[in-house]
Structures are given as structure tokens and as C-alpha cells.
Amino acid sequence: MRQSAQQCPLCRMLLTRFHFGDERDSIEETGVGFVTIFQGQELNLIVYYFGQLGDGGWEFLETSASLNFERLSEEQKGSLQNSKGSPSVALQAWTVPVINDSLQRIKGWLASQSPSVSLTKEFPTRLLRLEPGAVFPSVRLVNIKDGNISHAPYATLSHCWGGHQPICLKTGSFSSFTQQIPFESLPRTFGDAVEATLALGLSWLWIDSLCIIQDSEDDWLRESEQMDTVYSQAYVNLAATSSRNSSGGLFPKSGVLKQSCILQTTWTGIESGTIMVYDENSFIREVATSPLNNRGWVFQERVLAPRTIHFTHHQIWWTTNDSLDVYVDSFPTSIQHLLADVQWESRKEAMLPPVLWRVPDETNYSGAWRMYVRGYSKTALTKPSDKLIALAGIAKMFANVYGLQETDYLAGLWRQNLVRELLWAIFIRHSGSRPDLYRAPSWSWASTDGEVWDPSSEELTSETTILQANVCTVNGSFGPVKHGFIVLKGPLVPVELCYHAEGSDAGGIDIFQTVTIHNNSKTTLLGALDVHTDFKQSNRGRFYIGVFHEGKRSGILRCGLLLRRTIERGEFTRVGFVNLNSVISEAWEESISVGHSMLDESESLQYDAESGFHTYRIV
């Protein structure tokens, strides 16, 4: 099949869609057969093949996949022939002419799709100056802010570092880099990025490992906080989307699909004609769920960059965050419209949250921010300590777009709607314990590792108020956090909890058997622990529920935060999130009616008997 895929577009598409498991490299070419089924707008194919087993034997196996198709009119077939030549030539190697052909088309697209938003007029501290050469391009480091460069359109590179980084800027190499960086010393991804940048008519390129001094903590921290400038002001972002490290390159070795898959159908019982076969999920598979877009730093890069070119194993995709358009190089212009709706839907689902370039909804900026947090929390970081700094660029631009102050940013949350933003939960825990190195207060989602989600889609309100919120950071509000706390006033109910591990779900749902302290009434609560080690001692203990939220329309108590005391008076740490019920609310209301606090005097900072509210601190 791999041999057939060199010329057959359908085989090429199938090879990328089928999952052959561990036997993929040992498929017998003569042992492959197809069953084709048309259903609606889907082309369902089943492949039967022989796979070699571990003991050397062979087994008859099967796998399946679905592709999509569109019947073409005579006009569309004619346009296809005129725009791309013979559809039978489906695969072209990544030779220089093919690369340049694609990049020249993208160059024209970039010229016609200038971003309409420019939030700053700053440039990165350093850029790589590129010049064509007789054999290899010339590459050197230039300190932009020390020169007289007023306008320097530049490209950026998004890439996976992988394991070993062959070359990077260090204090000792700074001087030599300003003279010359030997092109042959660059890893394949960097070299491809240099050639692509020059082919697009640009002379400047930003690569993190070559423009940030990697052995200087001060320089790394200062430059890391400027990612909003670096990526938002770039002319274009080049993404090594399918490469797992710096040696993978931009341009795939196997070849690129340069023609659409066009078939003449003559099956019995099926209307004959010409169809175009495509995969409506190709963007999700090749771009959205690629190795690159699983990285935490890259989440920020793709949100901030106004235009991105994604180089994948089989195609080139280019996207714009101004109009949320998606383009793919392998489909002729004459039939691009057939995929417009499909690719838009795929991208909308896969690349949420929405980009910052769009006109903001000032009435729901908190909801928009929670979407960013959830998307970011799904990604991975090589250094967990980068949790907040890898989001600093988005936070800075978010503040700019929505007119927020730098001091409004509190360890990944915003002061203006802080009570609501405290209501986050961990949907999928990536770790059973909190990080060894402190990086955020327990009330911030950044203090944990896992996928963050908003546990309530209902519009909520809370009687809890924030009296004070303070976060101490390194190098500005968007930098790493040293410590922080909030002081609140509102309901606070003590409970005895027994954690039922056997009934809890690995996906984030935890079950607690609860006994309220005030009236000994019993109930069962559902919630989500931030980490399981909060219950490592006998799975039971005295905890507290605070920051109550209720439905804005129904007035019914919905949810709150699970807290645990520290050794300080009136001070707590967050343990998790819980859904509440009438038993909890009735216990609290009963304590108010009798004018009696359910807490000892030492358990809160202050008690207001009239409202039944406690003042307390969360760290």
C-alpha cells in the first residue's frame, strides 16, 4: 500500500487514515483487500490484510476508515483540469520547485490578507538576519533595539524542542552569533524555516532558542514575558506542526498531496460520475491534535500569531486569526468552496478558544478567559514551573483588548470577576499531588496539573464578596508567583467528609459521604478533588465548604469550594469543588435562624451574626 500511495491519491489518504497497529511495517502487499460502502456523503472502506505476529506467524486482520466525497459537476471537473493539470499525478516529492510553488501561493495569500489589528508597535529584542547565499543562506543575530530598524517584517517559528537541542544562544556564544551562525550547524527544522522565510520574501526570523539567551535566567524571564509582542507583531508564523523535535523539519520527506483525489465511479447500484474524495477531519488530525499543538507554549503562539502556516506530513495548511479562515494547499481554488464549511467547523471545534483578534464581547470577558484556561490546561509543559509564564503573552493581550489593568491579573484569574473565576474544577487529573515547587495559591487553577473545566453552564451568583486579593510576583503581574492570598466574606460550613475512592471516577468525579457539624444531618455530595493526596490520611476529616454559588434565576444553591484549615487562624487552602444540595443550605440557614455560628471562634477571622457570614482567608 505504501508503494501504491506514491502515485495513487486514494491509497495515500487511506494510508494516513487506517490504524494498522504494531503490524503496520509488516503488511504483505499481496494480502490487502478493500470493501467499499457508500452511505450518504461518506465513503466507508474496510481493509483486510495479513499482519505478522510476535511469534513469526501471520494473522488475517481488518481495519476500517471513513472518508467523505462530493460529486463534481462538469464545470467543476473542467476547472479542476485547468487549475491543477492531470488529477492522476497526485503525489509530488518535496523538491525545490514544489516547495517554491506552494510558498509562492502562500506569499500571494499573505499579501492579500494583511492583519487588520495591531495592538503594539514594538519589535522583539533580537531577530535573525537572513540573506541568500551562493551555497547556503547567511544567518546572523541582530539586536533590534540597539539599531535603527524602524520596520522589519519578520517570521516566527513554532516548534517542538524535543530532547536534545543541537544549537542555542548562550552567553558565551552571543558575540559569535552576531557575526555568523553557520547554516550547516542548524537542525533541519531551523534550516527549513530559514529557507521558507527567504522564499516568502522576508529577511528576518525569530526562533526562541536562537533569540533568547538560554543560560541567562534574567534574559529568559524578560523575553518570555514579551511573547505577546513577538508573535502578535509577526508577519507570519511558521509551524513545524508534525515534527516532534528540531530535526523533523518543515517539509516532509515522503511527499505532499498536490492534487485532490478524483475518482470515476462505476459501482453497481451507485450513480456513476466523478467524485472528489476528502477527509473532513484532516485538519483536526493533522493540525489541531498534532504533537506541536499539544505543547503549552505553542498554545500561546497559535492564539497570538495573526497568520500561521502549518507544515504537516501530507499538506500545507494556512490559517488567519483575523477572519478565522482555513486554507489547504492540496485543493484547487475552483473547488475550495466545497470544503469551506467543513474545514471551518473542524477548526472551530479543534482550535477553540476564540482568537483575540475578534471584536471582544465586553459583557462576557470572564467566560472568554475561562475558555482560554481550559484550552491551555489540556496542553503539556516540559517544565511545570512555566505554568503561568507560558500564558503571560495571552494574558497581556487579553488585558489590552478588554481594557483591564495589569494589577487586575491574579495568578491566572481576573480581579473583576474573581468570585466566579474561583469556581473551577479539574476534569482530568494529570498528577496525584500538587507540584513540588510553589507556583500559585491553592485558589488558582495554576496550582494544579490537569484539565480545567467550568463546572456550571448556568448563570450563577454568589453572596460571597472579596475583601482583599493580593499576589506577589517576580518581574510584574504576569510573571511567576511568589505567594498570594484572598480574604472573603460569606457562608462557611464545616463538614466531616469520608471519601469513597471506589465509587469515584478517574475522569474527575469524586464522591463524598458527608455529615454536617451543626445538625448531624447526612448527605452524599459529588465534586472534584484538585489532587487525591488531599485525602491520603484515612480518607476522612474535618473540612469546610465556602464560596457558595446559586442559580441566578432559580435561587437554588448549586456549588461551592471545598476547603481545609491551615495552622493559622481563619486561614484555609482549597481542596476541590463540590456540588451542593438542600441539606447543606438548610444547615447553614438553620444556624442563622438561631443566631449561632457553626464554627469555633478560632476557625474564622470574624463572624457577622446578623448575616451569618464569616470572614476568612484562602492561600
Task: Look at residue 91 and tell me whether its pLDDT is greater than 50.
Answer: no
What is the DSSP code (8-state) at residue 288?
A: I
Cα–Cα distance, 406 to 29 (Å, whole number): 62
Domain identity same for 562 and 448: yes
Domain limit, last residue, from 350, 375, 400? 350
Report how many domains make up the chain: 2
Of the candidates 541, 524, 537, the one whose C-alpha atom is nearest the C-alpha of residue 583 is 524
What is the DSSP code (8-state) at residue 380?
A: B
Q: What is the pLDDT of residues 230-273, one digit of tens each?
A: 999 999 999 999 888 888 888 766 555 555 677 777 766 667 77
What is the DSSP code (8-state) at residue 73?
A: P
The phi, psi pair for 570, rounded to 5°, reads 65, 20
Pairing outcome for strands 273-278 and 261-265: antiparallel
Domain identity same for 330 and 401: no
For residues 598 and 493, the answer to whether their CB atoms sit within 8 Å is yes
Task: Look at residue 347 and tell me whether its pLDDT is greater than 70.
Answer: no
**Positive or negative: CA dihedral 578, 580, 585, 586:** negative
Domain identity same for 317 and 383: no
Domain identity same for 321 and 404: no
Pull the grid cell for residue 42. Answer: 461518506
Tell me the residue range of the domain where 254 lies: 126-259+279-350
Task: Look at residue 92 and tell me whether its pLDDT is greater than 60.
Answer: no
Q: What is the pLDDT of residues 192-238, one digit of tens each?
A: 999 999 999 999 999 999 999 999 999 999 999 899 889 999 999 99
Domain identity same for 298 and 447: no
Q: What is the pLDDT of residues 436-467, one digit of tens each?
A: 889 999 999 999 988 898 887 678 889 999 99
Q: What is the pLDDT of residues 11-30, one digit of tens each?
A: 767 666 655 444 444 444 44
**Helix (H/G/I), strand (E/B), else coil: 241:** coil
Domain identity same for 221 and 155: yes
Of the candidates 518, 589, 527, the one whose C-alpha atom is nearest the C-alpha of residue 563 is 527
Domain identity same for 452 and 553: yes
Compare 239 and 88 and report the one with higher pLDDT.
239
Mean predicted confidence (pLDDT) in 82-99: 42
Residue 42 lies in a domain: no
Residue 186 lies in a domain: yes
Residue 38 lies in a domain: no
For residues 69 and 278, the answer to whether their CB atoms sit within 8 Å is yes
Domain limit, last residue, from 350, 385, 401? 350
**Positive or negative: CA dihedral 364, 368, 371, 372:** negative
Beta strands in 382-476 (DSSP E): 409-410, 413-414, 425-429, 450-453, 460-461, 465-473
Domain identity same for 439 and 561: yes
Q: What is the pLDDT of residues 128-185, one digit of tens each?
A: 999 999 899 999 999 987 766 767 799 999 999 877 777 999 999 999 999 999 999 9
Pairing outcome for strands 91-92 and 138-143: unpaired
Cα–Cα distance, 238 to 212 (Å, whole number): 18
Mean predicted confidence (pLDDT) in 109-130: 75
Of the candidates 265, 261, 241, the one whose C-alpha atom is nearest the C-alpha of residue 251 is 241
Beta strands in 15-83 (DSSP E): 33-39, 42-52, 58-71
Pull the grid cell for residue 157. Answer: 517559528
Domain limit, last residue, from 304, 331, 350? 350
Compare 175 and 6 and report the one with higher pLDDT.
175
Of the candidates 504, 523, 505, 521, the one whose C-alpha atom is nearest the C-alpha of residue 513 is 523
Given pLDDT bands bounded at 50, 70 and 90, which one contains residue 97? very low
**Any long-range contacts for 463-469 (C-beta under 8 Å, 24+ apart)?**
463/490, 463/491, 463/548, 463/613, 464/419, 464/488, 464/489, 464/490, 464/491, 464/546, 464/547, 464/548, 465/419, 465/489, 465/490, 466/415, 466/418, 466/419, 467/615, 469/410, 469/415, 469/418
pTM: 0.82
Residue 404 lies in a domain: yes
Given pLDDT bands bounded at 50, 70 and 90, which one contains residue 498? confident
- Would you state the pLDDT for residue 189? 94
Residue 103 lies in a domain: no
